[in-house]
Amino acid sequence: MSHPVDAPLIELKNVRFGYGERVVLDGLDLTVPRGQILAVMGGSGNGKTSLLGLLGGRNIAWSGSVRVEGQDVGGLDGSSLYALRRRMGMLFQFGALFTDLSVFDNIAFPYREQTNLPETVIRDLVLMKLEAVGLRGAAASMPSQLSGGMARRVALARAIALDPMLMLYDEPFTGLDPISAGIIGRLIRRLNDAFGMTSLIVTHDVNETLRIADRIVLVSDGRIVRDITPQEVRASDDLFIRQFADGLPDGPVPFHYPAPAYAQQLLGGAVGGGGAHG
């Protein structure tokens, strides 16, 4: 099925989703045009990673619609969902490389599993992807021999092996030193533009996000509360935006979990139960 080239690649409308009785997305609306890098930021427990699961069909929305390239992800049958997933790439938080396979074989894996290409062609494609992330010389290395930044770059090369239309990134900068994080950020931007992809990044790294994203959405209480550009983030005096951008402990997102008056509780009030939050 063909779709207009100017149609958004991702459309979420009034999406509600959670786990058990806990609602994590509540009436979320989101549109992502083709070719953009969109960063999703917000406090822990606000449904950012759940959003990635909805786009890949691992999670199914309780209500509302989740559409990728015009297809209702929640309504696809198994074969159609698998076909859609083949056009997506995913960079997991810590790379998730196969530890018993070499760098070369990690990147060759999706070609061998999902295509009928001869090994001579696979070899050239693997070297091309490794060249794109600057690690062609590490093809024979094992994951255990790589630094954290190198392993993340190999994982990125594997994620783009099948030239996906959509790349999903789950905390791509976590655990990396500033130089490695900067390299990953520049690669995300460069590869997105070079391969004509659309990228959605779930991240807490404000500095790298401001360098590479076209748009940033801030999620709170299951909804998008701000949809802005990096330039607007830098210039904004909005209290909510400043709290996230500057890492302030208190503000519109409170530091204290709701509780009775402190003095009253010290003077004999009952200690409430309540579950964990955040």
pLDDT in tens, 63-108: 999 999 999 998 999 899 999 998 999 998 777 899 999 999 999 9
| Predicted confidence band of residue 47 (pLDDT cuts 50, 70, 90) | confident
**What percent of the chain clears pLDDT 90, i.e. is strictly above it?**
54
Do residues 176 and 114 both lie within one domain? no
Do residues 117 and 244 both lie within one domain? no
| Predicted confidence band of residue 256 (pLDDT cuts 50, 70, 90) | low
| Predicted confidence band of residue 276 (pLDDT cuts 50, 70, 90) | very low
pLDDT in tens, 103-133: 999 999 999 998 999 999 999 999 999 999 9
Q: Could you identify the residue written with the tokens 């490695």?
A: 180
The parent domain of residue 121 ranges over: 97-159
Token duo for residue 271: 């200690």
Number of domains in the chain: 2
Do residues 139 and 181 both lie within one domain? no
Angle at which helices 119-132 and 178-194 cross, to 10°: 120
pTM flag (> 0.75): yes
**Highest mean pLDDT range out of 42-46, 112-116, 205-209, 261-265?**
112-116
Supply the pLDDT for residue 275.
47
Do residues 40 and 79 both lie within one domain? yes
Poorest-pLDDT segment among 23-32, 221-230, 267-276: 267-276
Do residues 143 and 176 both lie within one domain? no
Over range 169-175, report the average pLDDT.
Answer: 90
pLDDT in tens, 11-31: 999 999 999 888 889 999 999
Do residues 146 and 169 both lie within one domain? no
Q: Is the dihedral of CA 118, 121, 109, 163 positive or negative?
A: negative
Supply the pLDDT for residue 4.
52
221 is a domain residue: yes
Last residue of a domain, one of 115, 131, 159: 159
127 is a domain residue: yes
Do residues 83 and 168 both lie within one domain? yes
Last residue of a domain, one of 131, 159, 187: 159
270 is a domain residue: no
